[in-house]
Amino acid sequence: MVNKELEIHTVIVDGDFRNFKAALSRSVLGVTFRKFKRRRSEFYQHRVHNDAVVQLVEKRLYEYLLTQTNLRNISDLKLKTDMTIEWDENGKIEAFKNIAVKIYMMVGELDIDNLKFRKGMETVSIDLFYSEIDASSQRLRSLLPILLESVGKDSFVYKEFDFLTEQGRKMASAYGVEKVPSVVINAESPPIENPDERKLRQEIERAFSPKLIATEPEFSLEPIKKPVAELLARASPITFETERH
């Protein structure tokens, strides 16, 4: 019989035992439930066992942190646990392997009070600069109306400018167009020279994409507590082994 195993990772939580325990329980028992719930009665008969071994591991790991390192103020730090769980075929936890409790210190925080999304432009302007004697220009003159029709022509203001006319050259100069064919989307965007259909679709979708509106972000450094920093410098590595029966 081949046992099943899986590597799991908890989220980073505050270093007090309550948060450490909650994160580890959610990860181990949550993964176990999702993986074996289809086994029904064969799985549920091991529920008490699984709860018990997880609690035992949580307690043992935290005791190691407190007693075999210099981290007496561990609640001032952050913890994250990586491990591999091994189950039997019905979801009974058989062993924990490769356990690593990673310890972090918060150094700063980025705060943004409000983050909203605003709809993209309701109407997009498309300006095509072409030449009557250029084959690529004629290709785009045929492609663009079909493309805009497929997206929804009412969402666009479409104009064409002949680069060889006085008005065309004047508008081209204003938009920074130097070569034809070129497409300008929403006037302020850089000209797109001789685009293919895929490129045009991407740029048009970009013009309609939501815009991010955020209040001014603030970043603050977390004061580093000298006793904690000194303890970290002296902390010794931890080894943890589980005995399998």
Mean pLDDT in consecutive groups of 10 residues from the start of the chain, 245 residues: 84 94 96 92 92 95 86 84 94 93 85 73 87 93 90 86 94 93 89 92 82 73 60 50 43
Task: Specify whether 97 is located in the same domain as 17.
Answer: yes
This prediction has a pTM of: 0.56
Place of tokens 């004629």: 138
Answer whether 70's CB lies under 8 Å from 236's CB.
yes
Distance CA 70, CA 53 (A): 27
pLDDT score recorded for residue 56: 95
pLDDT tens digits, one per residue of 90-129: 999 999 999 999 988 877 888 888 777 666 667 889 999 9
Task: Specify whether 184 is located in the same domain as 230.
Answer: no
Taking CA atoms, 16 is separated from 62, 83, 109, 160, in Å, by: 9, 19, 20, 67
Domain count, the chain: 2
Answer whether 114's CB lies under 8 Å from 32's CB.
no
Task: Specify whether 156 is located in the same domain as 175.
Answer: yes
Q: Is residue 41 part of a domain?
A: yes
pLDDT tens digits, one per residue of 83-96: 999 999 999 999 99
* CATH code of the domain covering residue 195: 3.40.30.10
pLDDT score recorded for residue 184: 95
By residue count, the chain amounts to 245
Q: Which domain holds residue 152?
A: 117-214
Task: Specify whether 87 is located in the same domain as 126.
Answer: no
Answer whether 19's CB lies under 8 Å from 36's CB.
no
Which residues touch 192 (CB under 8 Å, ≥6 apart)? 182, 183, 184, 185, 199, 200, 203
H-run or E-run covering 121? none
pLDDT score recorded for residue 66: 86
Task: Specify whether 100 is located in the same domain as 25.
Answer: yes
Task: Specify whether 132 is located in the same domain as 203.
Answer: yes
Q: Is residue 241 exposed (0-12), middle (13-18) or buried (19+ Cβ within 10 Å)?
A: exposed
pLDDT score recorded for residue 107: 79
pLDDT score recorded for residue 151: 80
pLDDT score recorded for residue 240: 46
Task: Specify whether 192 is located in the same domain as 99.
Answer: no
Q: Is residue 202 part of a domain?
A: yes
Taking CA atoms, 174 is separated from 98, 168, 179, 187, in Å, by: 64, 10, 13, 9
| E strand intervals along the chain | 4-9, 13-14, 78-87, 93-104, 108-111, 115-118, 124-130, 156-162, 182-185, 192-193, 211-214, 218-221
Answer whether 3's CB lies under 8 Å from 86's CB.
yes
Which residues touch 10 (CB under 8 Å, ≥6 apart)? 23, 24, 26, 27, 80, 81, 82
Distance CA 173, CA 24 (A): 63
DSSP per position, 44-90 = HTTHHHHHHHHHHHHHHHHHHHHHSSS-TTGGGSEEEEEEEEEE-TT
Answer whether 31's CB lies under 8 Å from 85's CB.
yes
